[in-house]
Chains A and B, each alone.
Chain A
């Protein structure tokens, strides 16, 4: 059943809505990484810095688990955006 806030954006970088995240959870996602793999939430420019907490809240609400049981985004370098120039020089 569609809910009143289903259209609301959660991940603005990748334009993922509350409804899409609820659907991912219904399909079996139980942590932030599971939601990310299904919806791309947290894969944009900010790498989940803005939406991670909101995704955690949704998982927490939908599955009735504590915030510490919802996981967090995986971290790998570069942790801040770097220039194409740096990439072109093959530093990573």
Chain B
């Protein structure tokens, strides 16, 4: 069995930031595993500039933040295993890992890790309507990966469901990629995301139908692919209003209906969870060190409640510092001061009309923390 000081699951913004901070704090042996072929999580598909102040990398594109972090992690000597899945945890922090080998094969590795950070991110929600399993219906995030990372158009004529920031930004990026965005559909009475993103779409002449939903998708295209999409107006109880249907020719439907935390690894441990609607469902409670109720196991990023990349990154830093402290690499006082600095930035990220809700949700999750269990 292999031994590691620090195992980090997930090489997105949270996991990478955690690995960098732990290394900087003096942890010798840091391993990050990620199920994907490339590290960076969702950062490399975020070709747009982020909002916020300069302390939060405002004006920097997500993909540039990803590249800078990856370079830093490599320079610091962080070990990264890609195409590698952590498939289970057993007692005493033993992880079972299916390691991706250079020849493409897989090898099962058992590893005892002194400390573990779980940063497995979030997953897109699905919406149910007649024909939702038709080929050509996909998550908006998946479509964004296709255009921005793989440089492949998901389709030519696209209907977007959802107008949160993901729905709005991905719609605009699909247009930039040369797709015809037919319309955006939103169940709520108003647009979910920032007005500045919505205006860009409206200025391009793409209609946004609020108080509408998708009634049916027909799959009469090649190989049963999406051929047309019928939308319908809904009443305040979200019931279809008959006679208000509109049908569009389209070959793709993208769903931007929010995300939920990926918490399966967390749930394998005896970690206490709490239900939080705004954060996407069940999330692990944690303290200001990002430590869970299970001693030596930390969480960071969307796993602890769906937010955005900058928050994930800062939470990852906190977890990295805390793991380093627990491993004896830095003193408690130094770790405390380091964390205080990061928490000031985190508080800054959770302000404003969108951030405040997340600040309240985070407080609820942390208030529910009963303390770390006896080791």
Contact = CB atoms under 8 A, between A and B. Distances in A.
Interface of A: 5, 8-10, 12, 18, 49-51, 53-54, 57, 67-68, 72, 75-80, 82-83, 85-86, 89, 91-92
Contacts of B89: 77
A57 to B, nearest CB: 8
Contacts of A80: 35, 85, 87, 98
B348 interface: no
Contacts of A8: 128-130, 132
Interface stretch (B54-62, B182-190, B274-282, B314-322): B274-282
A10 B265 contact: no
Nearest to B269: A75
Contact of B128 (A54, A72, A85): A54
Task: Give the secondary structure class of A's interface.
Answer: loop
Given A77-B88, A86-B106, 12 more contacts: A5-B130, A8-B128, A9-B133, A72-B282, A76-B88, A76-B268, A77-B89, A77-B90, A79-B87, A79-B265, A83-B106, A91-B108
Nearest to A52: B260
A90 to B, nearest CB: 10
A75 B264 contact: yes
A78 B96 contact: yes
A85 B104 CA distance: 14
Contact of A82 (B106, B260, B264): B106
Nearest to A74: B267
Contacts of B206: none
A79 B89 CA distance: 10
Contacts of A72: 267, 281-282
Contacts of B96: 77-78, 91-92
Nearest to A48: B264
Contact of B87 (A5, A12, A77, A85): A77
Contact of B106 (A75, A79, A85): A85
Contact of B275 (A57, A67, A91): A67
| Most chain B CB inside 10 Å of its own CB: which residue of A57, A79, A83 | A79
Contact of B268 (A53, A75, A85, A89): A75
Given A77-B268, A91-B96, A54 B88 contact: no
A85 to B, nearest CB: 7
A86 B68 CA distance: 36
By size class, the interface of chain B is 20 to 34
Nearest to A89: B108
Nearest to A78: B87
Contacts of B110: 91
* A-B interface, 4 closest residue pairs, ranked by CB to CB distance from nearest: A77-B88, A68-B275, A78-B87, A80-B85
Contacts of B88: 76-79
A88 B164 CA distance: 46
B126 interface: yes
A67 B128 contact: no
Contacts of B129: 8
A88 to B, nearest CB: 11
Contacts of B132: 8-9
B125 interface: yes
A53 B132 CA distance: 15
A76 B86 CA distance: 12
Nearest to B276: A68
Most buried by A among B88, B90, B106, B265: B88
Nearest to A66: B275
B165 interface: no
Nearest to B85: A80
Contacts of B277: 67
A50 B275 CA distance: 19
A79 B9 CA distance: 13
Contacts of B35: 80
Nearest to B110: A91
Contacts of A18: 128
Contacts of A12: 133
